[in-house]
Amino acid sequence: MSSNTPYAAHGAAHVAQLAVNSIGHPVIMVDKDGFITFANAEAENFFRSSAAMLARHRLADFVPFGSPMLSLVEQVRERRAPFNEYRVDISSPRLGPDKAVDIYVAPVSELPGSVVVMLQERSMAEKIDRQMTHRGAARSVTGLAAMLAHEIKNPLSGIRGAAQLLEQVVSDDDRALARLITEETDRIVALVDRMEVFSDDRPVDREPVNIHIVLDHVKAIAKSGFASHIKIVEEYDPSLPLILANRDQLVQVFLNLVKNAAEAIGDSSGGEIRLTTAFRPGIRFSVPGTRERVSLPMEFCVHDNGPGVPEDIQSIIFDPFITTKQNGSGLGLALVAKIVGAHGGIVECDSSSRGTTFRILMPAWRGEGEDTESQRT
């Protein structure tokens, strides 16, 4: 290595510390005895103590007794594999009230028993809250749809029938107006029909489903129609376990997402949609208002290289009637969130000017007498 490199000038350890300090989240290292051996600047702010003070204490001195953070650290030590846990409550007099964080823990291979812990505030926790908001909004649409079906569809049938009769007896100039009434009536009926999907809360049949069969079916539909001009790339994890789901509803979910991706790309050259699947055993989140922690290791993504979702609607994109399309109803993604939520999962949207990724996290199906990890083949 040349002597004029930054590493030679400052030392690799110093450069590494600079790099970790530049991370905008608290990062600490905990040794095999539970003592904090390193803390970056953000960790000092988070724990309200200097790095020197932190180094004289165990992690257990700073978080509540029985905190999931401590059990997660032990789990990573035992399994020697990284784990994530979302929405962990570590509120305490020292750290303050309403302290919910996402925790990322990874083993340090060069130091047996040591782990690196990174904390992230206001990330997945907020996304989970929004999932609950999406479900509440869907319930509101459910009531509205039931009302519209009764109060609007019946009168519309009469209006449509009258317009068809008028079309037969009026002059040529007025016939176009009568036809316009019929077409607009049909459009309103179609909108109400789409909203009625929300009002159907009957339980659906579920069975073990191979997600790759679902995605292949969706790809075949897309390539034979609306995405015939777009390259669709598959990046599948062939060892994925099954999920307990309604196949038709999952087809509806991914067909919506792939169609949105195709519409975002439009007629631009070089358009590409990527369908990816992965197994993330360390992904868990705490259910708001309960002590329950749910594992969501199944990750399914639909990515496009379109222009991205406008920033001002990214946080509300799953709400009903939110759309950027000129003739869109704004119900497609709301329905996606409703179906995914009914299957015990969550859906996220990450977007920039380089493209958009819709990411679905769902639980794996557990066969009788088997745990999630053993379902992998």
Domain of 36, CATH number, reads: 3.30.450.20
Same domain, 263 and 325: yes
Of 122, 153, 183, at which residue does a domain stop? 122
Same domain, 99 and 178: no
Compute φ and ψ for 323, nearest 5 degrees.
-155, 155
**C-alpha dihedral sign at 73, 78, 81, 87:** negative
- Structural domain harbouring 350: 207-375
Same domain, 135 and 195: yes
Number of helices (H) and strands (E) in the chain: give both, helices first.
11, 14
1 found inside a domain = no
Query: Which residues of the chain fall short of a pLDDT of 70?
Result: 1-17, 98, 122-151, 191, 194-202, 282-293, 320-330, 368-377
Contacts (Cβ under 8 Å, ≥6 apart) of 241: 279, 298, 364, 365, 372, 375, 376, 377
* pLDDT score for 148: 60
Same domain, 194 and 214: no
Same domain, 130 and 262: no
Contacts (Cβ under 8 Å, ≥6 apart) of 352: 308
* pLDDT score for 67: 83
* pLDDT score for 110: 86
Of 74, 99, 122, at which residue does a domain stop? 122
Same domain, 88 and 39: yes
Q: How many CB atoms lie within 10 A of CB 46?
A: 22
270 found inside a domain = yes
296 found inside a domain = yes
- pTM (two decimals): 0.60
Same domain, 231 and 364: yes
* pLDDT score for 74: 92
Per DSSP, the three-state class of 121 is strand
Same domain, 102 and 167: no
Domain count, the chain: 3
* pLDDT score for 63: 87
